[in-house]
A and B are shown apart, each in its own frame.
Chain A
Amino acid sequence: MNTPAIQRADFAAIANWIKPGARVLDLGCGDGTLLRYLAGQRDTIGYGVEIDDARVLACVTNGVNVIQGDMERGLSGFADDSFDYVILSQTLQAVRSSEHVVREMLRVGRQGIVTFPNFGYWRNRLQVLAGNMPISNNLPFAWFDTPNIHLCTITDFESFCHGHGVRILERIVITNGKAVTLAPNLFGALAVFRFEHA
Chain B
Amino acid sequence: MDQTTHPKSVGAVVPRKAQFTKPLALKCGATLGGYELAYETYGALNADKSNAVLVCHALNASHHVAGYYADDPANIGWWDNIIGPGKPLDTNRFCVIGVNNLGGCFGSTGPSSINPATGHPWGADFPLVTVEDWVTTQACLADQLGIERFAAIMGGSLGAMQALSWTIQYPDRLGHAIVIACAPNLSAQNIAFNEVARQAIITDPDFHGGHYYGQDTRPTRGLRVARMVGHITYLSDDEMASKFGRQLRHGRLNYTFGVEFEIESYLSHQADKFADYFDANTYLRITKALDYFDPAAAHGGNLSLALEPATASFLVVSFTTDWRFSPERSREIIKALLDNRRAVTYAEIDAPHGHDAFLLDDARYHGLVGAYFNRISAEISA
Q: Which residues of A contact B (CB under 8 A)?
A: 23, 45, 47, 53, 56-57, 59-61, 63, 65-69, 77-79, 82
Contact = CB atoms under 8 A, between A and B. Distances in A.
A79 B341 CA distance: 11
A70 to B, nearest CB: 10
A23 B335 CA distance: 15
Contacts of B374: 61
A56 B343 CA distance: 15
Q: Is the interface of B mostly helix, strand, loop or mixed?
A: helix
B346 interface: yes
20 contacts: A47-B344, A53-B347, A56-B345, A56-B368, A60-B345, A60-B368, A60-B371, A60-B372, A61-B374, A63-B375, A66-B345, A66-B347, A67-B334, A77-B331, A77-B334, A78-B338, A79-B335, A79-B338, A82-B338, A82-B339
B347 A56 contact: yes
Nearest to B332: A77
Interface of B: 315, 331, 334-335, 338-339, 341, 343-350, 364, 367-368, 371-372, 374-375
Contacts of B347: 53, 56, 60, 66, 68
Q: Is the interface of A mostly helix, strand, loop or mixed?
A: mixed
Contact of A66 (B338, B346, B367): B346
A65 B339 contact: no
A59 B368 CA distance: 10
Given A61-B374, A79-B338, A82-B338, A53 B345 contact: no
Name the residue among B331, B339, B344, B348 with the largest chain A CB count within 10 angstroms: B348
Given A45-B341, A79-B338, A60 B375 contact: yes
A69 B348 CA distance: 7
A23 B339 CA distance: 12
A68 to B, nearest CB: 5
